[in-house]
Amino acid sequence: MSSNLTQKIIQNHLVEGELKSGSPISIRIDQTLTQDATGTMAYLQFEALDLKRVRTELSVSYVDHNTLQSGFENADDHRFLQSAAAKYGIYFSRPGNGVCHQVHLERFGVPGKTLLGSDSHTPTGGGLGMLAIGAGGLDVALAMAGQPFHLSMPRVVNVRLKGSLNAYVSAKDIILEVLRMLTVKGGVGKVMEYTGEGIKTLSVPERATMTNMGAELGATSSVFPSDEQTRLFLRAQGREKDWSPLNADEGAGYDESLEIDLSVLEPMIARPHMPDNVVKVREIQGKTVDQVALGSCTNSSYRDFMTVAHMMKNKKVHPGVSAAIAPGSRQVLMALVQNGQWETMLQSGFRVLENVCGPCIGMGFAPNTDAVTLRTFNRNFLGRSGTKSANVYLCSPETAAAAAITGSITDPRDLSLPPVRIAMPERFPIDDSMILPPGRDDHVEIKRGPNIQPLPKQSALPGKLQGTVLLKVGDDITTDHIMPAGAKILPLRSNIPAISEYVFSVIDASFAERARAAGGGFVIGGQNYGQGSSREHAALAPMYLGVKAVIVQSFARIHLANLVNFGIVPLVFENSADYEAIDPDDQLEIDVSSLEKQPVQAFNRTKNRSVHLIHSLSRRDVEMIKAGGALALARTGMDRI
């Protein structure tokens, strides 16, 4: 029977279940990655499992998020991460070496392997032919312990590309077009598998831009075949031995299909404040721009910066624009320095930022009040930039460079520049001196700063959940709404009591205080609740405040899993009218025993009416929630996870 690429990789790693869309499966994980905003908690959780070494083929700890060291907290966490990596057999990528997804693509990714990362943009590895999936830190900790990763078998969508891109139209425009077509909800429960003649024209970094931003579709992952383009990229990395051909069988079936003609695609742009609010650049060109930022895990490759350097030759950044560049890795920076193109960008007037995530997560280079800022990033959620009044637009490096030159939103094709085709170097400058290999001695002392607090524990569920509706929100609530990022809050990530003070602060600054006063309670939400980052703090901190259940119209995948992992009951309204009928401060009562049968019985004591709720939880999920979460269940016996 013919298989698509996604099915092939899953079949090769299948531990339990069958390849039937929507059914529960578990898969073996070959590689893991963490970053410092989620990694500290993941390694505290791994430590609690009392194992001497990781049991994966390869695990890497990256420091790329919290490098703004305005206090001791981030530096202490970096020291903790380095010592934990040395003790448990994990590679450690030091601060300044680059963004985790860019570096992993360059130095560690292998076609056909599975990768689980505590970052929602882990699917970047799909550009190399991996099945790469973002997850919460606890799921990654369990994978490092050798446990399989549990998920529902995704539907596989064939995104067929035909033709080739015109000058100054790029891979970012392709994924923005997919977002325009499908929306931020369109990939939930799916893997986007790219096929067609058009993929042959896209290099691995271009493919990685698309698989990276598939996270904004809500997709479980995105994947390209491993072909000649993949071989050339790995050869340039000095890793051709890691290459193997991998593609779908002739006549393979898919659950859904869509087609994009690259030859008619135009430059696209996502308007504030959602990645799927996409229009053609020419529809809004002329709007004055205050700031331009080039970088992030989406668009910080050699190809991206070479294109910008070509456009900026003999030009200056517009006097009304503040513009900055942040290469995705030290390797990219070294390549640009060696070929002279780094100097071109410096002479044009760009500010230089570290090789880290930086402004993408609100960590520096925040825009001015009411600014229009064009960013080559993947998210433009309200306030994520660090300036709540800013209007963030997402675009390609070509469109961002055009705005830097003209001072306004401009279709890059209108600059009448000669077309350029960026070729991959035959060999990138390779220097792994900032990647520390695993130690051989597990008698390493783990170094903890005062901001690193013990893991909070969740008790086993009582027979009945009772409490107040603490908050009611609408559709597309992101993890940034639930647990904000940024330079002020992220340094508290390893101190749950401290960071919990900011839960829902973007929506309601009084939430934490009210939750404590009420002894916890319930949160009510609309469609696609919890989209965005994989940060498990968006479940862990509400759990610490006593949130017992989250009841919504639909969940985003990673956040749903994180709620289960920390023993918060995730439920869905069977009837949307019941969502409308619940108000803040209503008193709810849920019979926990009914989790094992559907629908779940809930009673609104304030309105004196019953509410029917449903869920997509497996028997394992229900057992985990009742035990108080995955870590609590793990302590009862690793063989049960």
Pair 398, 412: CB distance under 8 Å: yes
- Which of 379, 384, 557, 559 is catalytic? The answer is 379
- Which of 30, 36, 76, 119 is catalytic? The answer is 119
* End-to-end Cα distance, the chain: 32
Tell me whether residue 421 is one of the annotated catalytic residues. no
Sign of the C-alpha dihedral, residues 535, 537, 538, 543?
positive
- Which of 36, 64, 276, 411 is catalytic? The answer is 64
Tell me whether residue 119 is one of the annotated catalytic residues. yes
Pair 597, 606: CB distance under 8 Å: no
Tell me whether residue 244 is one of the annotated catalytic residues. no
Nearest CA-CA partner of 49 in 177, 140, 175, 159: 140
SS3 of the chain: helix, strand, coil, percent, to 5: 35, 20, 45
- Which of 104, 535, 557, 559 is catalytic? The answer is 535
Tell me whether residue 64 is one of the annotated catalytic residues. yes
As a whole number of angstroms, the distance between CA 421 and CA 262 comes to 16
- Which of 118, 533, 534, 554 is catalytic? The answer is 533
DSSP 230: H
Q: Coil, strand or helix: which one is 502?
A: helix
Nearest CA-CA partner of 572 in 614, 530, 622: 614
Alpha-carbon separation of residue 475 from 30, 470, 516, 556 (angstroms): 35, 17, 25, 11
The letter for the amino acid at 167 is A
Tell me whether residue 533 is one of the annotated catalytic residues. yes
Q: Please give the helix or strand (H or E) that residue 104 lies within, else none.
A: helix 100-107
200 token code pair: 């042959």
Alpha-carbon separation of residue 555 from 138, 213, 523 (angstroms): 19, 19, 13
Strand partners, 531: 478
**Bond before 273 cis per omega within 30 degrees:** yes
Tell me whether residue 379 is one of the annotated catalytic residues. yes
- Which of 13, 65, 155, 375 is catalytic? The answer is 65
Active site members: 64-65, 119, 379, 533, 535
